Amino acid sequence: MGERALSLVQYGLENPAAHGGAVAATRMALKVVEPIKPDRVPSFPEEDFGARAKSLRSWIGQHMVSDTLTFEEAYFEMLPFVFSCGLKGAIVPVANGIAFDWTFNPLMRAINAPDSFTLEKADDVVNYECSYGMFERINIKGTINQGGEVSAVTVTGDFFAQEWDIAAPTALVPITTWPINAKLATLDIDALWTNLGTTPMTATLRAFDIDILTGLHPKMLGSAVKTFDIHAEGIIHVTSAFTFEGNALASTEYGHFLTQTDRVYELTITNPASPVASVLKIDTFGRWKEVIPFADNDRGNNLFTLVHESMLDPLDYAATPDMHEVFVTTSIGAV
């Protein structure tokens, strides 16, 4: 009987020239093992065949995994995996002493060639794997709790893959990780990319919820297999929700919403306790879609809620980046 205590999730990057070619896992994911959703939908045709039954047969036409990986208490070392298989692939990190700096700056007018992954879910009895995995949606959210409890950042990736198979497990050991703490998040908001990170929202940020649609999607084409054949890249879009303390800085952003002024934000989360001073930095250009003063209150303190929609920077159209970029500093130099 399989034991929950011996269950695990693992992943490995596939050869970019052979998406869908399953590989042995190279990293263990520190997370809860989620249920495996069905990767195929059988049809039971309701037909007439001289009996009091609906169906006499069933069949399956296609296989495709559509699932989610959620890191409830995310850590910096899992970020290169998610962004490599969602935003931009073949990233070579820059060594900086004992640290490694990863830059994910997806191109808006060219191919980004994201990596694909093989995912394993196993316990002490069974092991399942799916290949040609890619993230179609990445969500990063955190709330700065007010009672002294942990303010974990949760990272969720909605992904597609070809199909679940039974395969031998890979023997791995966990690596050292450093948590992403929402309490250590800072936010800067400016009008221009050139000024990015120069205007801090001091004593203002309460919560953030950044939702990235990567534009990646599978394509089912006529072929000799029931799985999808290739993937394609579509529109990248970022919707970011924030909760602000109801102060003068929040009121200023309400004014920018009213006039539809360009706003580029930089959300930075650090962990200075880690040996490499781990960093997650997210930059997004756009404008406020919605700003609601007095949206809520906490112990008598008024709160604003704000929703930021990404858009191409018209002043930076020919450059890179021109809408969205992510920087990660970790202790690992390979996904």
Q: Above 80 in pLDDT, residue 320?
A: no
Yes or no: say if 64 and 227 are a contact pair by the CB < 8 Å rule: yes
Strand-pair category, 301-310 with 278-298: antiparallel
The model's confidence at residue 2, banded by pLDDT at 50, 70 and 90, is confident
Q: Quick one: how far is CA 223 from the chain centroid?
A: 31
- What is the per-residue pLDDT for 51? 97
Sequential DSSP letters for 256-278: HHHHT--EEEEEEEEETTSTT-E
Query: Residue 324 pairs with which residues in a beta bridge?
Result: 284
pLDDT at residue 202, rounded to an integer: 97
Distance of CA 264 to the CA centre of its chain: 20
Tell which phi-psi region holds residue 224, choosing left (phi > 0), alpha (psi between -120 and 50) or beta.
Answer: alpha
The 10s digit of each residue's pLDDT in 53-84 is 999 999 999 999 999 999 999 999 999 999 99
Please answer whether residues 162 and 20 qualify as being in contact, where contact means their C-beta atoms are separated by less than 8 angstroms. Answer: yes
Taking a C-beta distance cutoff of 8 angstroms, is the pair 280, 269 a contact? yes
Q: Residues 4-24: what's their mean pLDDT?
A: 96
Please compute the mean of the pLDDT values over residues 267-277 and round it to a whole number. 95
Is it the case that residue 49 has pLDDT exceeding 90? Answer: yes
Contact 198, 237 (CB under 8 A): no
Measured CA to CA, the distance from residue 131 to residue 121 in angstroms comes to 12
Compute the 3-state secondary structure of the chain and give helix, strand, coil in percent, each to the nearest 5: 10, 45, 50
Place of tokens 């931009």: 88
Could you identify the residue written with the tokens 């409830």?
A: 72
Confidence label for 321 from pLDDT (cuts 50, 70 and 90): low
In the three-class reduction of DSSP (H, G, I as helix; E, B as strand; rest coil), residue 184 is classed as helix
Rounded average pLDDT over 182-192 = 97
Residue 317 makes CB contacts below 8 A (sequence gap 6+) with none
Query: Which tokens is 79 given?
Result: 């970020």
- The torsion of the CA quartet 268, 271, 272, 277, rounded to 10 degrees, works out to -80
Q: Does the pLDDT value for residue 270 go beyond 90?
A: yes
The C-alpha atoms of residue 76 and residue 310 are separated, in whole angstroms, by: 24
Report CA Rg, the chain. 22
In tens, the pLDDT along 225-249 reads: 999 999 999 999 999 999 999 999 9
Q: Averaged over 1-29, what is the pLDDT?
A: 95
Task: Tell me what pLDDT residue 1 has.
Answer: 81
Give mean pLDDT, residues 173-199: 95
- The C-alpha angle with vertex 147 and arms to 144 and 149, in degrees rounded to 5, equals 70
Phi, psi of 84 (to 5 degrees): -65, -35
Question: How far apart, in Å, are the Cα atoms of 152 and each of 71, 129, 149, 244, 328?
Answer: 10, 28, 9, 18, 17
Q: In this predicted model, what pLDDT tens digit does every residue of 121-172 receive, in sequence order?
A: 999 999 999 999 999 999 999 999 999 899 999 999 999 999 999 998 899 9
pLDDT score, position 158: 98
Does 223 have pLDDT greater than 80? yes
Please name the residue ranges forming H helices in the chain: 79-84, 248-259
Average pLDDT for the chain: 96
Given a contact cutoff of 8 angstroms between Cβ atoms, the answer to whether 215 and 271 are in contact is: no
Q: Is 67 helix (H, G, I), strand (E, B) or coil?
A: strand
How far apart are the C-alpha atoms of 180 and 269, rounded to whole Å?
Answer: 7
